[in-house]
Amino acid sequence: MLYCVLLILVSSCKDRSTAHTAFYFWKTVFQLKPGEKELLRSAANNRLYLRFFDIVWNKQELQALPNGVIAFKESVSALSITPVIYITNQSLQQTAPSGIDSLAFKANRLLVRLAAENGIVYKDIQIDCDWSVSTKTRYFAFLRAFKRYNRKKLEATIRLHQVKYPERTGVPPVDKGLLMFYNMGKISAALNVRNSIYNPEDAAAYIAALPHYHLPLDVALPAFSWAIQIRADKVVQSYAKISLAELSNPQNFEQISSGSLSVPAFTALKSFYLKGVYVKTGDVFKFEGTDHEILAAAAKQVSAYLAPLNNRTVIYYEISSVNLLPLYAKDIKEISAHF
């Protein structure tokens, strides 16, 4: 009897989550809606990963320059902010090895200025880059240089293919990684395909390598959706602003079969504009997204393979999309509890 009680207590302690929840904010103007503020407070204790700016290759100036620098329309004093810099692979490809140190210096200088001007005190910095085999040397040099200029803890985003092939893509020289557990496949015009944002079948091809990855890993989960516009069997564009409810309007669309993989698709019954998007009669829109059930399945799947880590951060991309799904604070807490 005593043994059973002890076993239950040990099991309870083992299963109790120590994970922290956070959200991404990925727009160029910082201003939260009332519902987003409440969700951030109640589900994530005001922890926010805030994209400060991108680094892109400027073809006119022939150099890597900041783009989409965030503008603040309201105070962030109540929030716990982690600044994020997104750097394109092209900017690394085009920058000479001799210019990498200067690029890191300038990126840090801009980050420090934005933080100081807006009263942001931060403990960590995240760098987001989908580096490749051809750019890993320059990217890793950028990270080392950035670390010299800013002594805060540094985290780098890690895509699934970089987890599976570390001997090819390398492991970035940072304090921690952030596993992006989404964007499993390519956006395509085909209808009988799995959800490209997340599906367990494609994920299974990568996650077996997780226990052996040589960085502690936080996790990012996909709290977003998009509508993929298809015309003449070719993808026109994907739109996060178009919802499933809008595509389900029988005055504008007719739902069509999308095969056996349950990605809903709709045909336009007429030509019109939808949220500034021109829709032509016969256009097909394929809707991909996540919900509470899908995210819970994703969390359960990936958490089973991650190496143990106390106080892991689970980040949801992206806070402005959550209400469109919809997801509530209790849903987010239940999903994060898997970690």
Starting at the edge strand that comes first in sequence, how are the strands of the sheet with 284-289 ordered? Answer: 234-239, 225-231, 284-289, 265-268, 253-256
Which pLDDT belongs to residue 15?
A: 62
Which pLDDT belongs to residue 163?
A: 96
Instruction: Indicate the pairing of strand 20-25 with strand 47-58.
Output: parallel
Q: Both ends of the chain: CA-CA distance in Å?
A: 30
The span from the CA of 301 to the CA of 303, in Å, is 6
Instruction: Indicate the pairing of strand 313-317 with strand 153-158.
Output: unpaired
Q: What angle do CA 258, 240, 139 make, to 5 degrees?
A: 110
CATH architecture assigned to 14-224+290-336: Alpha-Beta Barrel (3.20)
| Cβ-contact 142, 125 below 8 angstroms | no
Residue 166: name the closest of 143, 136, 199 by CA. Answer: 136
The secondary structure of the chain, three-state, reads: CHHHHHHHHHHHHHHCCCCEEEEEECCCEECCCHHHHHHHHHHHCCEEEEEEEEEEEECCCCEEEEECCCEECCCCCCCEEEEEEEECHHHHHHCCHHHHHHHHHHHHHHHHHHHHHCCCCCCEEEEECCCCCCCHHHHHHHHHHHHHHCCCEEEEEECHHHHHCHHHHCCCCCCEEEEECCCCCCCCCCCCCCCCCCCHHHHHHHHCCHHHCCCCEEEEEECCEEEEEEECCEEEEEECCCCHHHHCCCCCEEEECECECCCCEEEECCCEEECCEEECCCCEEEEEECCHHHHHHHHHHHHCCCCCCCCCEEEEECHHHHCCCCCCHHHHHHHHCCC
Which pLDDT belongs to residue 95?
A: 98
Residue 161: name the closest of 141, 133, 138 by CA. Answer: 133
Which pLDDT belongs to residue 51?
A: 99
Domain coordinates in residue numbering, the chain: 14-224+290-336, 225-288
The pTM for the full model equals 0.92
What string of pLDDT tens digits covers the 339 residues of the chain?
433 433 343 334 446 788 999 999 999 999 999 999 999 999 999 999 999 999 999 999 999 999 999 999 999 999 999 999 999 999 999 999 999 999 999 999 999 999 999 999 999 999 999 999 999 999 999 999 999 999 999 999 999 999 999 999 999 999 999 999 999 988 999 988 899 999 999 999 999 999 999 999 999 999 999 999 999 999 999 999 999 999 999 999 999 976 666 689 999 999 999 999 999 999 999 999 999 999 999 999 999 999 999 999 999 999 999 877 889 999 999 999 999
- Joined tokens for residue 215: 């960085």
Query: Counting Cβ atoms within 10 Å, is residue 78 exposed (0-12), middle (13-18) or buried (19+)?
Result: exposed
